Structure 1
Amino acid sequence: MGSIAFPAPVLPGKEAMPAEIGARLTGHPGLQGFLANGGLSLVRVYQMTTPMGDVVTTYQEADSIERSFQNQVDDPSDVAQQLRDHIKGTHGIDIGAQPPPSAEQYLEFSVPGSSRHPGIAFSAPIQPGKTDLLRALGRETAGPRSAEWEANNRENGVNLHRAYIISTPMGDFTSVYFEAPDPTEANRRFAANASDFAAYFKSQVADALGIDFNEPLPPITTVFEAVRASD
């Protein structure tokens, strides 16, 4: 099973569209067929207002990420066509005319055997020349500081935490996704956490992204969620 999170800036004046397409597709009778055809098991879409405008971050899990993106281009179903039209009209992206986003995952944490919980995802541009800082952070959290990384997530109430580097024509971005019984409270705990590891972690991402993570994230809205039915 693969996973990816990736950003899509919202065109000015189109801020209401992600929620509208989300509501339209949630009850669509062809949604489960679309998920099955693309091997998608979970899709969650979030919207956040930033100083540069609204940004949508999509998190998805699939049997094959490559197959899931190709299906979105090729699938003749009404769900796929609505998505293609929405992505072009809301984000200015013609998904059939350019390669799909490719992600380099640099953070991973999950509680073995944990049930799924609500999530939050957000994206931010990486400061020029700072992408390797995030790669180094990933190596630290997977290696010498893995125990601290695990403890920090558990202290904050997080049971799944993943982050990706996405290369775009506008430069590198990071997209971050995490799950918790209460994601807003988990983010508040992360911002308030003053442990040595939390201070180290927040200083690294602040250097890479130019964001002070000692302050909670701005409000993030879930605009769509789909789970593939069990076979």
Structure 2
Amino acid sequence: MRDDADRFVNEVAERREEWLASRRRLDVTRERGWLQATPQGDLFVLMLEGTDPVAGNVAFAASREPFDVWFKERAGAMMAVDFDQPIPVHPELIYTSVPDDSAAEQAVAVAIPLLPGKTDAHRRIAAEVNGPRRAGFDAFHEHAGVTEDWWIQPTPMGDLVLLYLESDDLAAAMAHLARSRDDTEVWFKEATLDTEGIDWSGPPPALPEQLFDWRV
């Protein structure tokens, strides 16, 4: 998919003014995409910002504007998705950390498949860090220099947990988590090993590759 995605990004860049007009109609102010490798195959992670991205998604699906039609056909052929239909599933926000108002140097969206039958267990992790473990988890973010949001998204291949991370140094933040012996952070690593199958005490999985960051 990567080569075709690069060509598509270049084609959109050549039609920048049409893209701007399209997103202004949809009230979308920023559009970012990452390519995420998983054991189940490559995933494309899309993040939209605007007044109401869900309404923008519905309007985009219905649009017959020439650029929108081209965009939907081109992206749909690449991803095997019918963009004339609204994207049917919107993720469920289950956790958001204390925001940092400063501009982070790095940001990434990550898609992690949950192990079969572990979705409710992952929701319980979110309930813990939203509740009795909130102070300890806030301290982790401060020490690691990272903020994060979590969503759960059902897909035909199974449920995913979507993470959005911001940090001035994502590698350093992950290294902090890997070596930490703090009670809350050790609990978190053990709990997510059970739901994600990823051992955050070891080398982290490869981060997704950002394909584009388009701003109106």
The equivalent residue for 1:202 is: 189
The equivalent residue for 1:33 is: 21
User: Are residues 193 and 50 of structure 1, via their aligned partners in 2, closer, same or farther at CA, if it must alter by over 3 Å?
Assistant: same
TM-score (norm 2): 0.87
TM-score (norm 1): 0.82
**Retained in 1: the 8 A contact 2:57–2:87?**
no
For the residue of structure 1 that corresponds to 2:111, the secondary structure is strand
Letter in 2 for 1:200: W
Query: In structure 1, which of residues 72, 81, 94 is the aligned counterpart of residue 69 of structure 2?
Result: 81
Unaligned runs of 5+ in 2: none
The equivalent residue for 2:81 is: 93
For the residue of structure 1 that corresponds to 2:159, the secondary structure is strand
Cα distance in structure 2, aligned partners of 1:193 and 1:17: 40
Query: In structure 2, which of residues 45, 48, 53 is the aligned counterpart of residue 60 of structure 1?
Result: 48
For the residue of structure 1 that corresponds to 2:97, the secondary structure is strand
Matched, 1:141 2:129: yes
Letter in 2 for 1:104: E
Structure showing greater Rg: 2
**Retained in 2: the 8 A contact 1:166–1:172?**
yes
**Retained in 1: the 8 A contact 2:61–2:86?**
no
Identity of paired residues, percent?
21
**Retained in 1: the 8 A contact 2:113–2:159?**
yes
The equivalent residue for 1:114 is: 102
User: Are residues 201 and 45 of structure 1, via their aligned partners in 2, closer, same or farther at CA, if it must alter by over 3 Å?
Assistant: same
User: Are residues 206 and 30 of structure 1, via their aligned partners in 2, closer, same or farther at CA, if it must alter by over 3 Å?
Assistant: same
Comparing 76-85 and 164-173, the one that deviates more: 76-85
Cα distance in structure 1, aligned partners of 2:31 and 2:172: 22
The equivalent residue for 1:212 is: 199
**Retained in 1: the 8 A contact 2:57–2:86?**
no
User: Are residues 80 and 130 of structure 1, via their aligned partners in 2, closer, same or farther at CA, if it must alter by over 3 Å?
Assistant: same
Query: In structure 2, which of residues 151, 174, 177 is the aligned counterpart of residue 187 of structure 1?
Result: 174
**Can you list the C-alpha shifts for 1:28-67, whole angstroms capped at 9, x where unaligned?**
1122222222222222211122333222212222211321
Cα distance in structure 1, aligned partners of 2:172 and 2:72: 35
User: Are residues 148 and 71 of structure 1, via their aligned partners in 2, closer, same or farther at CA, if it must alter by over 3 Å?
Assistant: same
> How many aligned residue pairs are there?
214
Unaligned runs of 5+ in 1: 1-13
**Can you list the C-alpha shifts for 1:128-154, whole angstroms capped at 9, x where unaligned?**
221111211111112211111111112
Cα distance in structure 2, aligned partners of 1:46 and 1:133: 27
> What's the Cα RMSD here?
2.2
Cα distance in structure 1, aligned partners of 2:23 and 2:10: 16
The equivalent residue for 1:3 is: none
**Retained in 2: the 8 A contact 1:57–1:121?**
yes
Cα distance in structure 2, aligned partners of 1:137 and 1:217: 20
User: Are residues 82 and 155 of structure 1, via their aligned partners in 2, closer, same or farther at CA, if it must alter by over 3 Å?
Assistant: farther
User: Are residues 112 and 212 of structure 1, via their aligned partners in 2, closer, same or farther at CA, if it must alter by over 3 Å?
Assistant: closer
User: Are residues 183 and 40 of structure 1, via their aligned partners in 2, closer, same or farther at CA, if it must alter by over 3 Å?
Assistant: farther
Mapping for residues 148-167 of structure 1, pairs under 5 Å: 148-158=136-146, 160-167=147-154
Letter in 2 for 1:148: G
User: Are residues 68 and 118 of structure 1, via their aligned partners in 2, closer, same or farther at CA, if it must alter by over 3 Å?
Assistant: farther
